[in-house]
Amino acid sequence: MEIAIPNLRHLRVFLAVTELKSITRASESIFLSQPAITQAIAKLEGLLGAALFERHSDGMYPTPSGDIWQKRVSRALDHIHSATQEIVKDNSPKDRSPKNLMSLISTTQLRALVAVSEAQNFSIASRNLSVSQSSVHRAARDLEKLLGVVLFEKNSLGTNVTKAAQTLAKATKLAFSELRQGIYEINALQRKDVSMITVGSMPLARMTILPKSILQFNERHPDVNINVTEGPYADLLHHLRQGDIDIILGALRHPSPADDVVQEELWAPPLSVVARKDHPLMNKNTISAKDLAEFSWVVPAKGTPTRHAFEDIFKDAGVALPTRLVESSSQILIRELLIESDRLTLISAHQVEREINIELLSVIPFPLEHTRRPIGLCVRKSWLPTLTQSHFLSLLRKISEHFR
């Protein structure tokens, strides 16, 4: 379900009333009429389906839903404020301060910014937003005028996104993510939790920890959707840092891949050399790296932890690397290549546990205890999970104990 992002002006109004505990005082502070403030609060409450304030004789105080919303709105607007501060500090006149800008920037402009930044094309962005191309152009250009910087430049391939646009688009996506989190939390407070958890998962986690966690989690949260995204680690990390993904589950990177993420180890399984059940090496009592080098292999892409471990097997033994390689991380392709040939692969036995149990594949007896690699969570350093997301994290940790 698509979550509607509220009007930024309404969010600023909400924070003013929360801080000053009065529509009258908020009106004087943000130079907006009292009826306009009342209407803005009413629209927010209608969108959220919850009362945000309790009216008392000495002022207006947030309800439990209001407390949740205040926390998320403050975090969201902080993301946008920090980005605008970074953009305008060297590029704008003094009368265009970040504080002034925050009262002028609209949700429509930010949605256009994100859409064009992602599509790098105004036509595609307009289709993705289901609005006219002229509307997207107008919103983007108005935002450029407000900031006093160039956000988009035309090139032969479409639209080039400037550094300023990238900075604000990332902050906007993180802000919108905070607002969605707030909506999820308010829904859960009213016992109608239909939120979504987005997990970027690497192959080993998809075959072990993740399916068991999802099944147990959905027993308690049947209406919560879990979106599992697959792809190269670099892509998953990019989407995590942009707020598109909540959690990456898979092999950890050392050192940490970025300053704005944190990692948590859950489990450290060793790798195994795996082949078809009746592979010629199964008849040997002692197997060396030289023996392994005589066969073709299926290996993951260069730069991955498993690829490094594969290369180290032969480097440590002073043996030339095998040359007849197929590079793939597809579990299905790897399995079929192994079953139909004498190829070998390096993989955690847990990933092919089912194939081993039904005797399609076997583990070659070659010592690799030293190849234990940490599998775990990677999340944004500033991420504040909802209670529902925290429960999912606790299940991942609990189920990882079983594998340990």
- Backbone angles phi and psi of 254, in degrees to 5: -130, 125
Tell me, what amino acid is at 106? S
Q: Can you tell me the distance from the alpha carbon of 293 to that of 125, in angstroms, rounded to the nearest whole number?
A: 50
Residue 149 in tokens: 């910087």
Q: What is the full per-residue pLDDT of the chain (404 aa) written as tens digits?
A: 567 899 999 999 999 999 999 999 999 998 899 999 999 999 999 999 999 999 998 899 999 999 999 999 999 999 999 999 999 886 655 555 656 788 889 999 999 999 999 999 999 999 999 999 999 999 999 999 999 999 999 887 778 999 999 999 999 999 999 999 999 999 999 888 889 999 999 888 888 899 999 999 999 999 999 999 998 899 999 999 999 999 999 989 988 999 999 999 999 999 999 999 999 999 898 999 999 999 999 999 998 889 999 999 999 999 999 989 999 988 899 999 999 999 999 999 988 999 999 999 999 999 998 888 899 999 999 999 999 999 999 999 999 998 77
Q: Which of 55, 393, 100, 45 is nearest to 249 (CA)?
A: 393
Q: How many CB atoms lie within 10 A of CB 13?
A: 24
Q: How far apart are CA 330 and CA 343, in angstroms?
A: 15
Task: Tell me the C-alpha distance between 252 and 305, whole Å.
Answer: 9
Which pLDDT does position 98 carry in this prediction?
A: 59
Separation CA 118–CA 140 (nearest Å) = 13
How much is the CA Rg of the chain, to the nearest whole Å?
26
DSSP, collapsed to helix, strand or coil, labels residue 123 as: helix
347 forms bridges with which residues in the sheet? 272
| Beta strand residue intervals within 158-309, DSSP E | 158-161, 196-201, 225-229, 247-251, 261-267, 272-276, 297-299
pLDDT of residue 208: 86
**Residue for token digits 């030293």?**
370
- How many CA within 13 A on the CB side of residue 224? 27
Residues 6+ apart with CB under 8 A from 8: 77, 80, 102, 105, 106, 107, 110
Q: Pairing mode, if any, of strands 344-347 and 297-299?
A: parallel
Residue 94 is predicted with a pLDDT of 56
Domain ranges across the chain = 8-171, 193-268+375-403, 272-371
| Statement: 8-171 belongs to CATH 1.10.10.10 | yes
Residue with tokens 């407000």: 146
Q: Is the peptide bond before 211 cis (omega within 30 degrees of 0)?
A: no
Domain 8-171 matches domain 193-268+375-403 at the CATH topology level: no
Question: How far apart are alpha carbons 360 and 338 in whole angstroms?
Answer: 9
Fold exhibited by the domain 272-371: D-Maltodextrin-Binding Protein; domain 2 (3.40.190)
CATH topology of domain 193-268+375-403: D-Maltodextrin-Binding Protein; domain 2 (3.40.190)
Burial of 186 (0-12, 13-18, 19+ CB in 10 A): buried
